[in-house]
Amino acid sequence: MGVGIEVTNLNAWYGANHTLQDINLNIPANHATALIGPSGCGKSTFVRCLNRMHETNPIARVTGTVRIGDLDIYTDAKPVEIRRRVGMVFQRPNPFPTMSIYDNVAAGLKLNGYSNHRVLDEIVERSLKDSALWEEVKDDLKKKSGASLSGGQQQRLCIARALAVDPEVLLMDEPASALDPVSTSKIEDLIFQLKSQYTIVIVTHNMQQAARVAEKTGFFLNGRMVEFDSTHKIFTNPSDKRTEDYITGRFG
């Protein structure tokens, strides 16, 4: 089951660059929330603050509070623990090139010490079914490498890999932007199904995609969150003129 995310006064820096300013928002549990905004507005940085990937950069700095469920992720736990509860799927599919499909999905578990083969088999199968890839790969699990799949399949493999560690939150940073329309549709249908079990946050440049999959949408601009509301409202009658300018393409 997913949990809600509560962000309070989040500020983030890359060196001297104040990338995120005073972000406050509540992401509801078991819903998909979309984050939109022009390039460089901070939405990717924001998402990376939710699983503490932001700080893998040595010049990165964060202040403020992020509560996932009842856990303050910056004071109550270590980054490694948080990342097991908050999964991430990246823009370009990045399966581990030296591993088979099976090993890719099981990687998060194996590398953290799990070795019971029966349990791993079950988890791999369940994860691949949850990410709508099982039927296409079930005969080649250990024979084919993760990198031999098509782009859309690779991305679903990455989703399966993220789901295998049973996170509560799934962060998706433009998951379909490198994919063709058919694969994109498959990923979107997937998000729809996954919503009931996980809390999903999806960063996207594609506003129609945000409109299709997310109940709530947040508009980021220059490091601030300008508006956060139901997707319906944002796309039919937004409150802030800047939001409207962005979504009608009248920017700049």
Give the interface size with other proteins as a residue count (CB under 8 A).
46
* Site track for other proteins across 79-108, x = CB under 8 A: -xxxxxx-xx-x-x-xxxxxxx--x---xx
Are 204 and 213 in contact, with CB atoms under 8 Å apart? no
Beta strands in the chain (DSSP E): 5-14, 17-27, 32-36, 60-68, 71-72, 86-89, 169-173, 199-203, 216-221, 224-230
Torsion of CA 134, 136, 137, 138, to 10 degrees: 60
d(C-alpha 118, C-alpha 218), whole Å: 42
Task: For residue 111, give Cα distances in angstroms to 103, 114, 135.
Answer: 10, 7, 26
Are 186 and 154 in contact, with CB atoms under 8 Å apart? no
- Asked if 121 interacts with other proteins (CB under 8 A), we say no
- Asked if 123 interacts with other proteins (CB under 8 A), we say no
Q: How far is the CB of 22 from other proteins (least distance, A)?
A: 26
- Asked if 111 interacts with other proteins (CB under 8 A), we say yes
Non-local (6+) Cβ contacts of 63 within 8 A are 9, 10, 11, 12
Q: How far is the CB of 240 from other proteins (least distance, A)?
A: 11
d(C-alpha 49, C-alpha 142), whole Å: 35
Q: Which is nearer to other proteins, 15 or 24 (CB)?
A: 15
Non-local (6+) Cβ contacts of 85 within 8 A are 68, 167, 168, 169
* Site track for other proteins across 150-179, x = CB under 8 A: --------x--xx--x--------------
- Asked if 2 interacts with other proteins (CB under 8 A), we say no
DSSP one-letter code for 92: S
Q: How far is the CB of 21 from other proteins (least distance, A)?
A: 25
- Asked if 129 interacts with other proteins (CB under 8 A), we say no
d(C-alpha 125, C-alpha 123), whole Å: 5
- Asked if 39 interacts with other proteins (CB under 8 A), we say no
Q: Which is nearer to other proteins, 26 or 107 (CB)?
A: 107
Pick the piece of the chain touching other proteins (CB under 8 A) from 6-14, 20-28, 63-71, 229-237.
Answer: 229-237
* Site for other proteins, residues 3 to 32, rule: CB under 8 A: none
Contacts with other proteins by CB under 8 A lie at: 51, 53, 56, 58, 80-85, 87-88, 90, 92, 94-100, 103, 107-108, 110-112, 142, 145, 158, 161-162, 165, 207-208, 235-238, 244, 247-252
